[in-house]
Amino acid sequence: METGLKLHESLGSMPKTQPEGANSVPQKVDGRRERSADSRRRILAAMVELIESGLPAPTAEAVAARAGVSLRTVFRHFEEMEKLHLEIAALVFERVRPILDKPFAVRTWPDVLHETIARRAEFFEILSPFKTAIDVYRHRSRPIAAQHRRISVMSRDLLAASLPSALVADHQSFELLNLLLSIESWQRLRDQQGLSVADATAVVRRGAEAVVEKSGMGRLAGA
């Protein structure tokens, strides 16, 4: 399954230093590289914190102040904005990985649906500010647009994996559930409609249960 975890594996590596024990010239080069890598890590951490605080497109000045680096250093790294956002995506997916990897506590239907909705609420609460940041840049960058598509594919695949095969095979019902349980719907409920996490979860659950009942899959309860 193509997921954000695979994205993390391919993009999450950080610059590596040379092994110790080399001669004095490589050691000086390694020191510069390590300082550059440290600055980049601080810039990435600052951007993550600022995006989480509600700034989807932090200014260089804000990043420099939060990271404790010079404005010149930030501008140098900002020249690689696409790479920065892809590295941030890798960091975020590592953060939510325990949610994605956690085994389901229940196996009966419709309890699995209810746990899926609760798990998505937790996942989307972490991901939402970064999804907003991606939306700012995705029309300007093909790699960032591709990352946006990966989120949609990951969300759909994870949903399909959690539902009974008969429900997934019901194309219209499954696509309705995919819409209801999408991050876009979650952001609409939370941001535009101002619902709390609990209320938004209850709305999604009620809508999903209605779709399942209409499809006839409600008869799977307890199976």
Reading the block at residue 188, the tokens are 């609409």
Q: What is this structure's pTM?
A: 0.75
* Whether residue 138 is found in the same domain as residue 203: yes
The pLDDT value recorded for residue 15 is 33
Question: Does any domain span residue 93?
Answer: no
Question: Does any domain span residue 52?
Answer: yes
* Whether residue 68 is found in the same domain as residue 136: no
* Whether residue 77 is found in the same domain as residue 108: no
Q: Indicate the residue among 32, 51, 81 that finishes a domain.
A: 81
* Whether residue 143 is found in the same domain as residue 66: no
Question: Does any domain span residue 21?
Answer: yes
The pLDDT value recorded for residue 8 is 35
Question: Does any domain span residue 113?
Answer: yes
pLDDT per residue as tens digits for the range 197-214? 999 999 999 999 999 999
pLDDT per residue as tens digits for the range 102-113? 899 988 888 999
Question: Does any domain span residue 94?
Answer: no
What is 23-91 written as a DSSP string? -HHHHHHHHHHHHHHHHHHHHHHHHHHHHHTT-SS--HHHHHHHHT--HHHHHHHHTTHHHHHHHHHHH
**In terms of residue numbers, what domain contains 158?**
103-220
* Whether residue 65 is found in the same domain as residue 108: no
Q: Domains in the chain: how many in total?
A: 2
54-58, 109-113, 165-169, 215-219, range with the lowest pLDDT: 215-219
* Whether residue 115 is found in the same domain as residue 77: no
Q: Indicate the residue among 30, 46, 81 that finishes a domain.
A: 81
Question: Does any domain span residue 87?
Answer: no
1-15, 26-40, 141-155, 172-186, range with the lowest pLDDT: 1-15
Question: Is residue 83 very low, low, confident or very high in pLDDT (cuts 50, 70, 90)?
Answer: confident
Q: Indicate the residue among 81, 116, 136 that finishes a domain.
A: 81
Structure-model confidence comparison of residues 171 and 30, the more confident one = 171
Question: Does any domain span residue 68?
Answer: yes
The pLDDT value recorded for residue 51 is 94
Give 18's DSSP letter. Answer: P
Alpha-carbon dihedral sign for residues 181, 150, 9, 136: negative
* Whether residue 203 is found in the same domain as residue 137: yes
* Whether residue 114 is found in the same domain as residue 68: no
* Whether residue 126 is found in the same domain as residue 206: yes
pLDDT per residue as tens digits for the range 155-178? 899 999 999 999 999 999 999 999
Question: Does any domain span residue 118?
Answer: yes
Reading the block at residue 40, the tokens are 């980049």
* Whether residue 64 is found in the same domain as residue 112: no
Residues 6+ apart with CB under 8 A from 81: 137, 141
* Whether residue 123 is found in the same domain as residue 194: yes
* Whether residue 77 is found in the same domain as residue 107: no
